[in-house]
Amino acid sequence: MQNSPETHDSSETHGTTVRILLAEDEALVRRLVSRTLREAGFEVAEAEDGASALELLVGESSEIHAIVTDVVMPGLSGPEFVKRGQEELERQVPVLYVSGYLSYPTGRAAPLPEGATLLKKPFTATQLLDELDRVLRERYPGFSRDGAPILSFSQRTGA
């Protein structure tokens, strides 16, 4: 298992590549989710833990359109890295949390933010993509994988 984040390119959707940050500590799950996202037309930046995900989020902030993250991971949990990253960026990035836990062991994960979207493992590719589409549409009205563009953060703000 690598310690550094991986990036996988995919096809562009009508000229706009939608980039997803995927944070998942289980290698097999990470590969399957990444492949599902890439086959659906997303570009995926992978991280195997919260610290790597935080580094990627902050380092490539204008290029990350949404986050799919496991809740419980070694070191920084999903909610912890998301909170720190969004505080540092001073903006909200849409997040889809995934977890196989019905309840969380004490001290293993930060509570999810109010209103957070949680997809329980195991899930199908269709469930993953439907929930991600919903999260993206909440932040980017009119988004669809069929072609609605998502502008980068710098394009939306004129920065």
Q: Return the domain boundaries, the chain.
A: 6-157
What pLDDT band is residue 156 in, cutting at 50, 70 and 90? Answer: very low
Q: How confident is the model at residue 63 (pLDDT cuts 50, 70, 90)?
A: confident
One DSSP character per residue, 104-149 reads PPTTTSPPPPTT-EEEESS--HHHHHHHHHHHHHHHSTT--TTT--
- Tell me the per-residue pLDDT of 116-136, one tens digit each, with 9 for 90 and over: 999 999 999 999 999 999 999
| pTM assigned to the model | 0.81
Q: Give the right CATH number for 6-157 from 1.10.3720.10, 3.40.50.2300, 3.30.230.10, 3.20.20.70.
A: 3.40.50.2300
